[in-house]
Chains A and B, each alone.
Chain A
Amino acid sequence: MSASGGPAVLAEALTKKFGDFTAVDHLDLRIERGQVIGFLGPNGAGKSTTIRMLCGLLLPTSGRASVAGFDVGREPEAVREHIGYMSQKFSLYGDLTVRENLRFFGGIYRVRREDFAERMRFAISMAGLEGRQNALVHTLAGGWKQRLALGCAILHRPPVLFLDEPTSGVEPEARRQFWDLIHDLAAEHVTILVSTHYMDEAEYCNQVALIDRGTLIAMGTPSELRGHRLSGQLYELRCSPLGGALKALRGVTGVVEAAIFGDRLHVVLAENAPAGADIRRLLSEHGIQADLPRRIMPSLEDVFVQLVSRGAEHRVTA
């Protein structure tokens, strides 16, 4: 099977069962080359199982998937040779130097001896680690470590890269530099799958795939998901006390969802909801002072929570 042309990742009815439990249920997914795609899903949604199958670490029960043109069921070794993986904890060796870590991972990824010097130079310059080749890794700040981990994961030039919450806990500015590197790689047709619980990481992705109960429940650009996926319009409501307001709004016709967010409420209103002034009046009858609701752009988290809880309700009634 060829490694060029075609989508970077293609899954068709991909299914994984553990005993009676179906972790991944006929998942279809197509990811073109050069995309940065965010994988979101609640714990237990089948996200990690999907990724382990796509990495060639776990065989599917049925269905099929290919990564970089190789079938995960029939050619798992070829899949593993054509992917890079960077975990949250950046599995680096703290008591080895930058250069020694790179050499170690170069060995694991079987980088050819004659290519190694060039690959190492590339990784070091990409990570901005020039002059620090001999520094012990545990002495590096978080941002450096993170870029070194990325350097190690791409030593063998994998066309597909898996990242697991790559920027958690890293300095904001270092974090932004990291995402620039990711987009540089994508511009060179590397496909990057980012698995995360954090919506601000998802905002850096070209496409976001939302997985729940083992299937793909939504996919689109961050803007598409924000724009079209709520069953109503999102409003911000400044009011006090917040808890009382929340209780007063529950059960009002057209109020799809209400949640406290910092010092205000986020309320999703359907078309048949009362007008802003009426909501304010209703709250004041409960002794709650409120501003007029202000329409805001939903965050990816708003969309995520609504889609996933809709699934949960469905599950309870089903």
Chain B
Amino acid sequence: MMATPADTAIRVQGLSKSFGSVRAVASISFDVVRGEIFGLVGPDGAGKTTTMRMLAAVLQSDEGEIIIDGVNVAAEPERVKRRLSYMPQRFGLYDDLTVSENIFFYAELFGVSRTERTTRSETLLNAAGLLSFRRRLAGQLSGGMKQKLGLVCALIHTPKVLLLDEPTTGVDPVSRRDFWAILYDLRESGVTIVLSTAYMDEAERCSRLALLHAGSIRYCDTPARLKEAMPGALLSVSAADPRGVREALAGKPGVLGTLLMGDRVHVRVDDAGNRIPELQALFEQRGIATAPIERAEPGIEDVFVALVGGGSRS
């Protein structure tokens, strides 16, 4: 994506951070365009939180540069903090304060005027579906509601950039959808969002992704283009005995990988057009009953495994 400087909300260049002998973040660079939902995607230990903390100006980098909304983070951390909001994995809500009291506390902290905080919190609570819970103690909210309240607090000062570190961990699918609906509304209003996640299915919802592995960005593109970059094609073979299907596929030419699912096998092949009839014939010859082989759309996890692999550690 080509971006003019005015479109660039975040520019990261050569960013590194080590803790002792561990290089948590190893010279990463990326740009985030205004109004994007940019995903930092990778397993635990990939460097997501360290990157987020550096973006939020709460952790100093060893090397490299971060510019957020035209301001250099290292040079003017306080000025940057007014333009962004950072929601760490454990957002500091006060369990013994009500929903409203938590919001007002953060409004005070960010210096939001009294009149503004009232209208702003109404709007945000409404969007989060929390309006009728204003007087409930935060400690009595469900996990999904707590995350939404955290988001409301993080947005009370109308930041231009929102940093969310694994915001939906432990949140159920219904609440997760609500949470994402709020993020999309924010994006439409021009807020730039950077979000980290270990969940590959969640990554699909971002407008652009960086696949992070052992502190490095291995690939960075839109979900659609990452899927196109995956070598080969993905096939789905539904069968009563998926294990039998997989055994039959071992070592067959053109089969790049197999994955045993609950009621089917995903097969990555070099060329779908040629391999579908070949494999169908193979199953018939072995007497393995399968549904007709279908092409399957790869998920981000398939892409991650094909492009990044498991690395050396596991």
- Measured CB to CB, the residues of A under 8 A from B are 36, 38, 40-44, 141-144, 168-177, 179-180, 183, 187, 197-200, 202-208, 221-223, 241-243, 259-263, 299, 301, 304-305, 308-309
Residues of B within 8 Å of A304, CB to CB, are: 173-174
Contact yes or no, B222 A223, CB < 8 A: no
A-chain residues with CB within 8 Å of residue B174 when the two chains form the complex: 42, 304-305, 308-309
Measured in the bound complex, the distance between the Cα atoms of B180 and A152 in whole Å is 37
Extra pairs beyond A197-B176, A262-B204 (16, CB < 8 Å) = A41-B172, A141-B45, A171-B310, A172-B43, A172-B200, A172-B301, A173-B309, A221-B263, A241-B188, A242-B188, A260-B181, A262-B207, A262-B223, A301-B177, A305-B174, A308-B174
- Give, as a whole number of angstroms, the nearest-CB distance from A265 to chain B: 10
Complex contacts, A305 vs chain B, CB 8 Å: 173-174, 177
User: Which chain A residues lie closer than 8 Å to B205 at the CB level?
Assistant: 261-262
Chain A hits for B172, CB < 8 A: 41-43, 197
Task: Determine whether B12 belongs to the interface, using a CB cutoff of 8 Å to chain A.
Answer: no
Q: How far is the CB of A235 from chain B (nearest CB, A)?
A: 14
* Chain B, Cβ-Cβ closest to A182: B260
Q: Are B188 and A173 in contact (CB under 8 A)?
A: no
* A227 CA to B294 CA, complexed, in Å: 15
Report Cα–Cα, A177/B310, bound state, in Å: 10
Q: Which of B257-281 contact A (CB under 8 A)?
A: 259-264
Q: Take A143-B313, A204-B262 as given contacts and tell me if A172 and B206 are in contact as well, using a CB distance cutoff of 8 Å.
A: no
Q: Which residues of B approach A to under 8 Å, CB–CB? A: 43-45, 142-144, 169-177, 180-181, 184-185, 188, 198-201, 204-207, 222-224, 238, 243, 259-264, 299, 301, 304-305, 308-311, 313-314
CA–CA, A284 to B305, complex, Å? 40
Q: Which residue of A lies closest to B44 (CB)?
A: A169
A199 contacts B201, CB within 8 Å?
Answer: yes
* B243 x A170 contact (CB < 8 A): no
Pairwise interchain contact A169-B198, C-beta atoms closer than 8 A: yes
> Is A172 in contact with B263, judged by CB distance below 8 angstroms?
no
Given contacts A223-B238, A223-B263, contact A198 B201 (CB under 8 A): yes
A301 contact set on B, CB distance < 8 A: 173, 177, 201
CB pair A243–B188 under 8 Å, yes or no, is yes
What residues of chain B lie closer than 8 Å to A174, measured between beta carbons? Answer: 43, 310, 314
Residue of B181, B200, B263, B308 with most chain A CB atoms under a 10 A cut-off: B263
Q: Which residues on the B side are within 8 Å of A142 (C-beta)?
A: 43-45, 314
Can you list 16 A-B pairs, Cβ within 8 angstroms, ordered by A?
A: A42-B144, A42-B175, A43-B142, A141-B314, A142-B44, A142-B45, A143-B313, A173-B314, A175-B301, A179-B260, A180-B260, A204-B261, A241-B188, A243-B185, A259-B177, A260-B180
A183–B311 Cα gap in the complex (Å)?
23
Interchain CB contact (< 8 A) of A176 among B175, B185, B238, B305: B305
Please report the C-alpha to C-alpha distance between residue A205 and residue B260 in the assembled complex, in whole angstroms: 10
Assess the B173–A42 pair: CB atoms within 8 A: yes
* Cα separation A298 to B298 with both chains bound (whole Å): 14
The docked-state distance in angstroms from the alpha carbon of A119 to that of B293 is 40
Give, as a whole number of angstroms, the nearest-CB distance from A292 to chain B: 17
Report the Cα distance A175→B44, complex, angstroms: 12
List of A residues within 8 angstroms of B308 by Cβ:
172
**Alpha-carbon separation in the docked complex, A40 to B261 (Å):** 17
Report the bound CA distance from A301 to B204 in whole Å: 13
Determine the chain A residues whose CB is within 8 A of the CB of B314 once the complex forms. Answer: 141-144, 171, 173-174, 177
A262 partner, pick from B143, B170, B206, B305, beta carbons under 8 A:
B206
A204-B261, A259-B181, A262-B205 known; A199+B310 contact, CB < 8 A: no
**CB–CB B144/A43 < 8 A:** yes
Which of chain A's residues has its CB closest to B302's CB?
A172
Task: Identify the 6 closest CB pairs spanning chains A and B, nearest first.
Answer: A173-B310, A143-B314, A174-B314, A169-B44, A141-B313, A42-B172
